[in-house]
Amino acid sequence: MKWKLTVRYLFSVLSIVFIVVFVNLFVLVGILYYQQVNGNDNLTADTGENFTRQFSRYLSIEDGLPVISDEGVQALQEFGGWLQVLDQNGQVVTAALSPADAPTHYSPIELVHIYKYMDDQFTTYYIGQFEEYSYLFGAKDSEEERIIFMFNMKSFLSYVSKAFVGITIADLFIAMLVGLLFSIIITKPVSYMIDRISQLKERNFAIQNMKRQGIFKPVFSNLNSVSETLQAHEEERTKLEKMREEWISNVSHDLKTPLASVQGFAELLREKDVTESERAEYAEVIERKAKYMKELLDDFNLTMRLRNQEMPLNREDTRLESFVRELVIDVLNDPKYCDCALSFNSDAPDLKWNIDRHLMKRAILNFVNNAIIHNDHDIQITVSVTANGITIEDNGKGISKRDMNQIFDRYYRGTNTEDIHGTGLGLAISRDIIEAHGGFITLTSEIGKGTKVRIWIEE
């Protein structure tokens, strides 16, 4: 994978270099062609060549001889040059601003020489035509230089083609070296990222750190964050699956016992010598076991709906003091709990919550019932309503740190619940109900000193 990425990167770099060279050559040829077709007037408007070509407008014939106008003399002064007009024999017939030592006659070879190579005073010469006369314009110490060269077109094209091929090869070679260097730097982390993603796909969530992360440092950081998240989800899934299996095992066990009782007492009811009192006793046992199984299945259904957020809440504004007081009275009126020391306090008579009364009652009762069931008969429980919410506090056995970490997990039974019947879903259901209301639970406990549960909802 790494070398495949490197080859692709190199191919991309070389392709870009080749395209750039070709485009540059095309643009250069286009510019040269445009200049040839449209001329260089814009580029050479102030050159000596243009000035000389246009100077004929300042010349006229008077009495058979050429004459330079005053405007022409002024133009010569402004340009910094001088002018001589020659007849067909090379004889100077008129001049303007010419040096004192300037020749008065020029042979054809002299004209060619000074036009091509300047003279000893570094004067650049330009030649123009006016009717049957020629004129010679000179500019001393001109910034312009005339370069004359000759070449064979065939040889020139051959040279240009070879130069183009050589430059292209050199550019491609340099680009290949640079591209190879950068491809190694870039494709190595990219290849590593692909491998990491493949590992995540294979459920390998181990955190890995790569040296020289470069510009990909945020990517590797995010990959490690994803690994940590997936690892946490995997652990949670494994933990949940294990607890679900344990819960199913417990439910199966809990259902077998009442089912066995139902089956056994149903068989006894068919006996002919069963008395009416025995028949009523057997029917009561069957009814009690059936209610227990129904409660078990209802708890299972409720916890699944709460877990999947499919439980609708029938909210209504509720004054918390009277709501909790009635709940405590209901517990004390239950014959099973009439002897327990359960008290109620409130210092927030006007506190109201928008809640589903039925579900919230069940959540609070779960905590109260747990405090009663899992402690000794002399337990003292206080339920309080304050401005900060509801507090349920007891002075019982307390909860171990190991159980505290899992006390709200579904299907979890504490270490002190071996002889306690129940579905194992009570506290998980309470937590889910309160969280569905947008509320929170804190539970603190100390072995031998008791447990304190605080419930509050942010309105």
Question: CA-CA distance, 331 to 400, in Å (whole number)?
Answer: 27
Per-residue pLDDT 10s for the chain (459 aa) are: 455 656 666 667 667 777 777 777 777 777 766 765 665 444 445 688 888 888 989 999 888 889 999 999 999 888 888 999 999 889 999 999 988 888 899 998 888 888 887 776 778 889 999 988 999 998 887 777 777 666 677 777 787 788 778 877 877 777 777 766 666 666 666 666 777 777 777 777 676 666 655 656 677 677 778 787 887 888 878 877 876 776 677 667 667 777 888 888 888 888 878 788 888 888 888 888 888 788 777 777 777 677 666 677 888 999 999 999 999 988 888 887 777 889 999 999 999 999 989 889 988 998 898 888 888 888 899 999 999 899 999 988 888 887 777 677 654 444 444 444 455 567 888 888 888 888 999 898 888 889 999 999 876
Torsion of CA 435, 437, 440, 446, to 10 degrees: -80
From residue 311, alpha-carbon distances to 236, 307, 356 in Å are: 23, 9, 11
Interatomic CA distance for residues 77 and 96, integer angstroms: 10
Three-state DSSP class for residue 220: helix
CA dist., res. 149 & res. 442, Å (int): 97
Q: What is the CATH number of domain 313-457?
A: 3.30.565.10
**Helical spans, DSSP H, in 270-380:** 276-307, 320-333, 357-373
The strand ranges marked E within 16-164 are: 59-62, 65-68, 81-86, 92-96, 123-130, 133-140
What is the rounded (10 degree) CA torsion for 8, 12, 17, 21?
120
> β-strands 341-346, 380-386: how paired?
parallel
The residue type found at 221 is S
Q: What is the pTM of this model?
A: 0.43
* CATH class of the domain whose range is 218-306: mainly alpha
Helices vs strands, H then E, count in the chain:
11, 13
* Cα–Cα distance, 431 to 364 (Å, whole number): 10
